[in-house]
Amino acid sequence: MPEEVFETVCGVCHFGCPVRVTVRDGEVARVEPSRLGSGYLCAKGLAGRAYLYREDRVKTPLRRLGKRGEGRFEPVTWAEAYREIAAKILEVKAMYGADGVAFFTGYSKWYRPLLHRLAHSFGTLNYGTESSSCHTASVMANLVSGGVYVRPDTENAELLLSWGENPFYSTNYAGDRIGRLKEKGLLVISVDPRLTPWAKRYADIHLRPRPGTDGALAHCFANRLIEAGAVDKEFIEKYVHGYRRYAEYARGFTPERAAGVTGIPAAEIERAARLLTEHSGSLAVGISQAGLTHHVNGFQNYRAAAALAAITGNYDREGGVIPVEYSGRLADRNFPRLRVDEFIAETRPDKARPKIGSERFPLWAELVDEFQAMDLPRQVLTAAPYPLRALVGFGVNARMFPGDGKFFAALEALDFFLDTEIFMTDTARYADIILPACTSYERSELVGVMGGPIRYSSPVIAPLYDSRSDADIICQLAAALEVEDAVLRAGYDACARQLLSKVGLTLEDLRLDSSPRRVPGKEPYIVGSTLRNGFATPTGKYELYSETVAQYAGSHGLDPLPTYVEPPESPDGEYPLTLTVGGRLPNAFHSRFHQVVWARSLRPNPALDINPADAGERGIEQDDAIAVATPWGEITVRANVTLLAPAGGVFFYQGYSEADGNGILDADGLDPYSGFPAFRSAKCQVRKVGQVREVERARKRERVRRAERSKEAAPVREAVPVGKAAPAREAAPVGKAERSKEAASGREAVPVGKGEVAV
Ligand SMILES: Nc1nc2c(c(=O)[nH]1)N[C@H]1C(S)=C(S)[C@@H](COP(=O)(O)OP(=O)(O)OC[C@H]3O[C@@H](n4cnc5c(=O)[nH]c(N)nc54)[C@H](O)[C@@H]3O)O[C@H]1N2
Ligand SMILES: Nc1nc2c(c(=O)[nH]1)N[C@H]1C(S)=C(S)[C@@H](COP(=O)(O)OP(=O)(O)OC[C@H]3O[C@@H](n4cnc5c(=O)[nH]c(N)nc54)[C@H](O)[C@@H]3O)O[C@H]1N2
Ligand code: SF4
Ligand SMILES: [Mo]
């Protein structure tokens, strides 16, 4: 049978890597890197075929029959589904106003401008996304300091100070660029509690702080730089606001004090500070998208780390950090950003209530054109400051939120929950209606490629089953909900045309072929422009003392200086270890690849990375069943005894429904500046519960315990048959058919290893 080869994009993550897809008999047979891209794909991209054909695809629109979470549904037609959605949502609107409905999307980014506009056209500012726990806190920290997001100019730097960066796992295309630069003499200080492949390979100095203590280390560096006269006085004089107060504050952070807080030996801190001092004239500061901000004190820690570029005069300078228009896929903040912002603003309602989270997180509310979703469950459950009764969701994942079942409880309490999903998930099981979405292989999409070019991707196969593109669904919802928005109601191509208007490209141009096009007139940023034109901050300077934050000093106790506070869950006698739930696995993408056998075989079990010393003390050996306990709950997983984890710190990974790490975190331990959850600094204890063969038994005992506990709990909790207590068959979502598909394609699953990845 002849094969056809197509060019399109991988839609698993927002990098949108170009892929070459071979189609045989109408089925995707092979996914390979395209010559239009970097030449290689990450493990998830390479598993794209198995992902596309996951057995749990939602096949048709579904209407819930059983109780929420039970998973009993009946198929309905698209027309019936839209009728029912419209009836329920319009009823909520009539009773509670448009603000009683929230529009929310999980990770997927490509349709966001449309969903955001739909919320506006519907009459509410209640549009929110997974970015409430992703990258936005780091954007906010940049905004209050310098008015713009920055990237490290590693190409031209002598020294890279890299905070929690491990691109080998999280940013596949950026990983080996540093190798080339190292050969040219780049020096690297890596600050990461884990011994990552990146730190192992590239760090000249690797500092391993206790998670959540970066602020103390950064202030100590500042203190040392100031003492050594290695700050840029002229730059500070001209461009920096609040230096005196900041320097005064940083003075208290001696290496000994920083060592006490971070657990890094003082001599190591001194050594790194000396290197910083020697190369302070050309210092690039790179900061993880999520590593520093997933803490109750994360926003301030991020600011403290970022400040080092400003005080050394490495801001908006070659070899330092350079402002960027954050540009990935065509998400809200992406290129052509202004056009996207305009598209969203065109239908913004002028009479709407403050968005969710505004009272609790005013800094977020001021800086971010989305609601802070971490406050959504609270508002649903308390109806304060006003009732929220319906959720129009796309790819909603309750397990993305911290806390044992609080988000599920909120879903339970709603009058109506619509989820639009590719797969049947624990969260989708709570929906009243589920609409089946398709993947990037089955749809067209306007993609803003990293760095500016834009392309219109084509489907390589027809949508599987009765699924549809999210963008089409949003446009059809606009019609069903009777919003007055001619553009949305005219469909995705009309929206794409509207987005492209004024950009100088037409949809017809882009459709001619799949190659990326430069946007005419789009000039790269000229280094130094911010210094010349003034910073977009209240004082027009880089604000070490933030006047934006100062507005909320009295009302919310926010500190305008990037002060360090100890994470509230410091280890103690009962819980002597620090638990991080997060960090990227190279073969997983949040909740979506644990079910793909090929990808999962690279790390077959939910496993806790634990240092040999901590394991030894507890009599724990590789692959033993262990209980990980926090004040908020307990899960049973396997032990992965590894030097990747530092002594005193243990690392688990999110997205497993059979072992939900977020379920044992504090739902309300949120950063008061950003509203971000503390995914990465929880106190915990670990104990052995059995040899490997006992792992299933331990899980079962735990399920029983949980079920018993939920019976005794308060009404809110009682109502939550959290998926963690899910039947055992979910524990190994490895479909037989998927295995045989792999075998039929001549590709074998990677041999099941010891559960350790690459270190
Ligand atoms: N403990 C801990 N928790 C974390 C993090 C952490 O580091 N540690 N990281 C946080 C971060 S940074 C993020 S970004 C979030 C991500 O968290 P999530 O938003 O949960 O991310 P995913 O699991 O990738 O996707 C969520 C759902 O969207 C569906 N989906 C995917 N693509 C599409 C699509 O195109 N259309 C539709 N309709 N549905 C789709 C998927 O099937 C999935 O069920 O998790 C956060 N949670
Ligand atoms: N394979 C894969 N890649 C992904 C994703 C995925 O799910 N899988 N998700 C994507 C998304 S949504 C995001 S937001 C990005 C996140 O991208 P990154 O932030 O780069 O990725 P992480 O691996 O979460 O964190 C990076 C490092 O921070 C370290 N770290 C944790 N806590 C601390 C701390 O307190 N201080 C310091 N200094 N370091 C700390 C971790 O040990 C880890 O090695 O990744 C993206 N890329
Ligand atoms: S980084 Fe990996 S998952 Fe993301 S788009 Fe590229 S190939 Fe796909
Ligand atoms: Mo993220």
**The pLDDT of residue 755:** 32
* Shared domain check, 375 and 258: no
**The pLDDT of residue 35:** 86
Q: Write the residue with the smallest CA distance to atom 14 of ligand 1.
A: 134
Ligand 2 contact via 357 beta carbon (within 6 Å)? no
Those residues with Cβ within 8 angstroms of residue 327's Cβ, 6 or more apart along the chain or in another chain: 334, 335, 337, 448, 450, 451, 452
Digit-coded pLDDT (tens) for 444-494:
988 876 556 788 888 999 999 999 999 999 999 999 999 999 999 999 999
What residue ranges of the chain have pLDDT lower than 50? 327-335, 712-759
* Shared domain check, 371 and 311: no
Residue 469 CA: distances (Å) to CA of 24, 50, 230, 278, 436: 22, 19, 55, 54, 9
Going from the Cα of 736 to the center of ligand 3, the distance in angstroms, rounded, reads 26
**The pLDDT of residue 703:** 62
Q: Write the residue with the smallest CA distance to atom 6 of ligand 3.
A: 17
* Shared domain check, 237 and 354: no
Q: Write the residue with the smallest CA distance to atom 7 of ligand 3.
A: 45
Specify the CATH number for the domain of residue 215: 3.40.228.10
673 class by beta-carbon count within 10 Å (0-12 exposed, 13-18 middle, 19+ buried): buried
Looking from the CA of residue 592, the nearest atom of ligand 1 is: 23
* Shared domain check, 314 and 200: yes
**The pLDDT of residue 150:** 93
* Shared domain check, 175 and 267: yes
Residue 753 lies in a domain: no
* Shared domain check, 353 and 262: no
Specify the CATH number for the domain of residue 42: 2.20.25.90
Ligand 2 contact via 445 beta carbon (within 6 Å)? no
* Shared domain check, 282 and 165: yes
* Shared domain check, 385 and 287: no
Residue 561 lies in a domain: no
Residue from 8, 13, 108 whose mutation best tests the ligand 3 pocket (most atoms within 8 A of CB): 13
Digit-coded pLDDT (tens) for 305-349:
999 999 999 999 999 999 986 544 444 334 456 678 889 999 999
Domain count, the chain: 4
- In the chain, DSSP finds a helix count (H) and a strand count (E) of 30, 26
Supply 588's token pair: 């997983």
Using only C-alpha atoms, what is the Rg of the chain?
25
Inter-residue contact 144 to 138 (CB < 8 Å): no
Residue 194 lies in a domain: yes
* Shared domain check, 309 and 383: no
Q: Which ligand minimizes its atom distance to the CA of 13?
A: 3
Going from the Cα of 17 to the center of ligand 3, the distance in angstroms, rounded, reads 5
Going from the Cα of 390 to the center of ligand 3, the distance in angstroms, rounded, reads 33
**The pLDDT of residue 325:** 67
Q: Write the residue with the smallest CA distance to atom 11 of ligand 1.
A: 134
Judge if pTM exceeds 0.75.
yes
The CA distance from 190 to 176, in Å, is: 15
**The pLDDT of residue 446:** 86
Ligand 2 contact via 135 beta carbon (within 6 Å)? yes
Looking from the CA of residue 107, the nearest atom of ligand 1 is: 19
The CA distance from 630 to 665, in Å, is: 7
Residue 78 lies in a domain: yes
Going from the Cα of 195 to the center of ligand 1, the distance in angstroms, rounded, reads 25
**The pLDDT of residue 17:** 87
Q: Write the residue with the smallest CA distance to atom 25 of ligand 1.
A: 107
* Shared domain check, 267 and 125: no
Neighbours of 462 (CB within 10 A): 9
* Shared domain check, 246 and 201: yes
Q: Write the residue with the smallest CA distance to atom 22 of ligand 2.
A: 583
Specify the CATH number for the domain of residue 706: 2.40.40.20
The CA distance from 283 to 129, in Å, is: 34
Q: What are phi and psi of 371, to 5 degrees?
A: -80, 155
Inter-residue contact 178 to 186 (CB < 8 Å): yes
* Shared domain check, 271 and 223: yes
Q: Which one-letter amino acid corresponds to residue 82?
A: Y
Residue 754 lies in a domain: no
Going from the Cα of 107 to the center of ligand 1, the distance in angstroms, rounded, reads 4
Residue 736 lies in a domain: no
Residue 687 lies in a domain: yes
Ligand 2 contact via 290 beta carbon (within 6 Å)? yes
**The pLDDT of residue 650:** 98
The stretches of 444-546 forming alpha helices (DSSP H) are: 470-480, 486-489, 492-500, 507-512, 529-533
Give the DSSP letter of residue 646.
Answer: P
Residue 453 lies in a domain: no
Inter-residue contact 160 to 286 (CB < 8 Å): yes
The torsion defined by the Cα of 319, 325, 326 and 331, in degrees rounded to 10, comes to: -170
Structural domain of 167: 150-323+536-556
Residue from 408, 477, 590, 592 whose mutation best tests the ligand 1 pocket (most atoms within 8 A of CB): 590
Specify the CATH number for the domain of residue 126: 3.40.50.740
Q: Which one-letter amino acid corresponds to residue 243?
A: Y
**The pLDDT of residue 738:** 37
Q: Which ligand minimizes its atom distance to the CA of 374?
A: 1
